[in-house]
Structure 1
Amino acid sequence: MSTNYQNYIPVKAIPFVQFLIDEHSFELKIVNQRQTKHGDFRKLPNGRFQITVNNNLNKYQFLLTLVHEIAHHVTHQKFGRVQPHGKEWKTVFQHLMLPFLTPEIYPKEMLPYLANYLKKPKASTDSDTNLSLVLRNNEAENGKVFVFEIPFSSLFIYKNQVYKKGKLRRTRFECLQLQTNKTYLFNKNAEVILYNQTN
Structure 2
Amino acid sequence: MSNSYQNYIPQKAIPFVQFLIDKHSFDLIIVNQRQTKHGDFRKLPNGKFQITVNNNLNKYQFLLTLVHEIAHHVTHQKFGRVQPHGKEWKTVFQHLMLPFITPDIYPITMLSHLANYLKNPKASTDSDVNLSLALRENKSEIGKHFIFEIPTGSLFSFKNTVYKRGNKRRTRFECLNMSNKKVYLFNQNVEIELLK
How far did residue 2 of structure 1 move? 3.9
CA distance in 2, matches of 1:28, 1:156: 36
- 1:182 equivalent in structure 2: 182
- 2:83 equivalent in structure 1: 83
- Structure 1 stretches of 4+ moved >3 Å: none
Q: Which amino acid aligns with 1:169?
A: R
How far did residue 82 of structure 1 move? 0.1
**Identity among equivalent pairs (%):** 79
- 1:167 equivalent in structure 2: 167
> Pairwise mapping of residues 94-133 of structure 1 onto structure 2 (< 5 A)?
94-133=94-133
How far did residue 170 of structure 1 move? 1.1
Normalising by structure 1, what TM-score? 0.98
- 1:195 equivalent in structure 2: 195
CA distance in 2, matches of 1:10, 1:194: 32
CA distance in 1, matches of 2:195, 2:105: 38
- 2:12 equivalent in structure 1: 12
CA distance in 1, matches of 2:2, 2:104: 23
CA distance in 1, matches of 2:16, 2:180: 50
CA distance in 2, matches of 1:129, 1:59: 18
CA distance in 2, matches of 1:75, 1:179: 43
CA distance in 2, matches of 1:176, 1:166: 7
Whether the 8 Å contact between 1:2 and 1:29 is mirrored in structure 2 is no
Whether the 8 Å contact between 1:74 and 1:92 is mirrored in structure 2 is yes
* Structure 2 unaligned regions, length at least 5: none
Deviation string 1:87-120 (CA, Å, 9 cap, x unpaired) is: 0000000000000000000001100000000000
Task: Report SS of the residue matched to 1:175.
Answer: strand
CA distance in 2, matches of 1:137, 1:85: 26
Task: Report SS of the residue matched to 1:164.
Answer: strand
Task: Report SS of the residue matched to 2:108.
Answer: coil
CA distance in 2, matches of 1:66, 1:91: 16
* Structure 1 unaligned regions, length at least 5: none
Normalising by structure 2, what TM-score? 0.99
Q: Which amino acid aligns with 2:67?
A: V
Q: Which amino acid aligns with 1:166?
A: G
**RMSD of aligned alpha carbons:** 0.6
Q: Which amino acid aligns with 1:122?
A: K
Q: Which amino acid aligns with 1:95?
A: H
Task: Report SS of the residue matched to 1:179.
Answer: coil
Deviation string 1:127-164 (CA, Å, 9 cap, x unpaired) is: 00110001001111110000000001111111111101
CA distance in 1, matches of 2:70, 2:55: 17
Task: Report SS of the residue matched to 1:110.
Answer: helix
Q: Which amino acid aligns with 2:77?
A: Q
CA distance in 2, matches of 1:164, 1:2: 46
Q: Which amino acid aligns with 2:190?
A: A
Task: Report SS of the residue matched to 1:109.
Answer: helix
Whether the 8 Å contact between 1:2 and 1:27 is mirrored in structure 2 is no
